[in-house]
Structure 1
């Protein structure tokens, strides 16, 4: 059963999805703008990685208080408060005249959109039954892929006419409109019995994460969330673009077209998960089994990219990102491992793990590239070596996932 009728569930999803679309566009736009920002501000690979990672640093910094606030105040109030920071961050980025200004604005943008996925997932945990939650989660991620598609060729086409600064004025306006839609449409509270018959947020337990951190299922999923999920987002939102330009030798417009392909493939992958995951769940195909079978495909693809070097282009990175989407199933599964009254904290804690991984991988790959070049490797070899280190970390995290015990039936 669900606590929202079909029409209410759809319009609520769409209101949240509108905000998440622009959140994802904001997240991924650095990859498309990387040649321009590198030229305008003379950025090194380390600085570019830190700039992109600043978004995720701000994002990750809010996740622990965010989870408590979601459980206590409900998703509507929380997301409206946070989106005001997204408006301010967008405007600050458009006015920045130095790397420090860009970085500070990027952190503020990360803070501002940090509730755009957690708020709807927390609401869905109380408003929808388990199969509907799996579908809504996948289709919310699909909406994010729409935003990432919009951050590629459309942004590149607008650049000659507008420049990059007015694009951020438009993003500020979009966030204002999304706030209006959420204020008008989304239910004001998620109190009441959850879809599994347990209380939702009528009684909120003390604001602690102890139960979340100690949960064996959370601990089992955390390493693959950090390295595999976080690393996939780091590649999708930043390093696939520089790889195509600096390893593959593509001009910026063709690299943007490659990013368009990657994000379009991700969009299709999440649409398919939304269509088929409820059916798989009803047939007893667990999340753990899907991850165990599917995630190794991404390791094979990533190893092939390292070997291929300059020959690995957009379709290779698209294959890596699509095969990595198996790990995205962990997010709703972690939320459903906890009672609805703890859902906000559980989801936000896991999101913290993921986006801490994004920050570390985005900045870390940049550090490795600069470090390998300082050690004497050519630029192409430095990129390949950095990605090989990422692959090794992902394989180790997968090994822990296979060996750890979680006392669950998922």
Structure 2
């Protein structure tokens, strides 16, 4: 799964008067405080549950292969479809959040998450299970951008880089639940009870969202999901930013994409997120068990360490980006180069039948913990140059980057594992995993090229916004280096 929404996006408008008595809209900063933390807390609970559903296959890969009688490529298809749907839904979800507000979109997401996980629990063959993962990916796609929107509407702009990183940090609790709890319950209780029970948690969380979530400071408690205010826009003003007459959804996407900061943010997300995503979503546990000889419990502990490391990096990056926006680009490069270097050491380690020392595996998982928090830095490039009415759309464009890269990585890893495992099956050798994980460098190189290509243009546009008096957050007064 770290950006500040433009200050202009914050709070309800107040009206001032110029000397010529022309009305001028002045937007107040959101209040923050207890109400903000309550609204954000409800939203982030949905995101935690979505992460549990998203990563549940990561501890059940070998079980799924046995249950459905499939090889590595077919097993990859589960995660590929789920992530592909997630990525493809990011722009539509951004548009929907801008138009209808996060409360409605979170509610719809919970319905789809519950249906998808329940279908996966009951499936006994490949095709129904695959369709269920697609439905789950659609529901998952509706969560993160919605929570970012809640945070931006409730907290002052200078707090938003920290709030976005905190959202990602708390979301990793879902990963911990998967690796520490779900993997053990699956081993003892079995497939259907495990996935069926996690599905039903969605019903409880949906009730909390419907009854308790106020998505803006001026929205009424327990306001109907179908209520609309006079003058259009969703209840609570979640999408109430005015658009020019004739401004279509296609225009919304086109103008957001035209900003070089939006495109740079997407490629930052693309380049940083996918190594840890592909490891946690599917191939980490098979690699640790089959290639490195770990038990299920030991492999689960290593996956948990990725998540715990990510929590630490989220706090660090959140503070750094709030106080020193100029460190955005150096941090991104450090994470990408560090991840690539440690993976190279693992893949090239000599001798030992493919086994690498425990200290190197520990270093690998700790470094991969930085991937998710670094990907959120991509949002910090997009938001200074996108006005309030495009924040959801721009965030959706950025957020799909890492998931597109994850689709590429999952496909390549599964494809190479099948090529290197004659006769099929799941008895993957250390040599097969070395060849498979070497494919990570292809999307990494593409992403680095795009970042280098777009960086100067994006920073020039950011300076232009700041110098024209349209600076939208603290990042614009400290252009990235």
Q: Provide the residue aligned with 1:356 in structure 2.
A: 404
Q: 2:336 aligns with which of 285, 295, 300?
A: 295
Check whether the contact 2:117–2:136 (CA below 8 A) recurs between aligned residues: yes
Superposed, which structure 2 residues align to 1:7-406 within 5 Å? 7-188=34-215, 201-204=240-243, 205-208=247-250, 209-281=253-325, 285-308=326-349, 309-311=354-356, 314-324=361-371, 325-373=373-421, 379-404=429-454, 405-406=457-458
Unpaired segments of 5 or more residues in structure 1?
193-198
Residues 335 and 176 of structure 1: CA distance in aligned 2, closer, same or farther (over 3 Å): farther
Could you tell which deviates more after superposition, 112-121 or 41-50? 41-50
Q: If the length of structure 2 is used for normalisation, what is the TM-score?
A: 0.77
Check whether the contact 1:64–1:345 (CA below 8 A) recurs between aligned residues: yes
Unpaired segments of 5 or more residues in structure 2?
1-27, 220-237, 463-478
Deviation at 1:144, TM superposition (A): 1.7
Separation in structure 2 between the aligned mates of residue 273 and residue 220 of structure 1, nearest angstrom: 18
SS of corresponding position for 1:202: coil
Per-residue displacement from partner, 1:261-300 (whole Å, max 9, x unpaired)? 222222232233334432334xxx3422322344321221
Deviation at 1:354, TM superposition (A): 2.2
Deviation at 1:202, TM superposition (A): 3.0
SS of corresponding position for 2:112: helix
Check whether the contact 1:70–1:78 (CA below 8 A) recurs between aligned residues: yes
Deviation at 1:24, TM superposition (A): 0.8
Separation in structure 2 between the aligned mates of residue 336 and residue 123 of structure 1, nearest angstrom: 18
Check whether the contact 1:240–1:317 (CA below 8 A) recurs between aligned residues: no
Separation in structure 1 between the aligned mates of residue 218 and residue 146 of structure 2, nearest angstrom: 14
SS of corresponding position for 1:113: helix
Could you tell which deviates more after superposition, 209-218 or 112-121? 209-218
Check whether the contact 2:276–2:369 (CA below 8 A) recurs between aligned residues: no
Deviation at 1:210, TM superposition (A): 0.5
Deviation at 1:382, TM superposition (A): 2.4
Residues 337 and 310 of structure 1: CA distance in aligned 2, closer, same or farther (over 3 Å): farther
The structure where helix makes up a greater share of residues is: 1
Deviation at 1:372, TM superposition (A): 4.0
SS of corresponding position for 1:46: helix
Deviation at 1:162, TM superposition (A): 1.9
Check whether the contact 1:76–1:186 (CA below 8 A) recurs between aligned residues: yes
Aligned length: 400
Separation in structure 1 between the aligned mates of residue 374 and residue 88 of structure 2, nearest angstrom: 26
Separation in structure 2 between the aligned mates of residue 68 and residue 105 of structure 1, nearest angstrom: 24
Bigger Rg, which one? 2
Separation in structure 2 between the aligned mates of residue 202 and residue 15 of structure 1, nearest angstrom: 24
SS of corresponding position for 1:50: helix
Could you tell which deviates more after superposition, 387-396 or 98-107? 387-396
Separation in structure 2 between the aligned mates of residue 355 and residue 392 of structure 1, nearest angstrom: 15
Separation in structure 2 between the aligned mates of residue 279 and residue 383 of structure 1, nearest angstrom: 41
Q: Provide the residue aligned with 1:195 in structure 2.
A: none
Separation in structure 2 between the aligned mates of residue 72 and residue 87 of structure 1, nearest angstrom: 24
Check whether the contact 1:220–1:401 (CA below 8 A) recurs between aligned residues: yes
Residues 318 and 337 of structure 1: CA distance in aligned 2, closer, same or farther (over 3 Å): farther
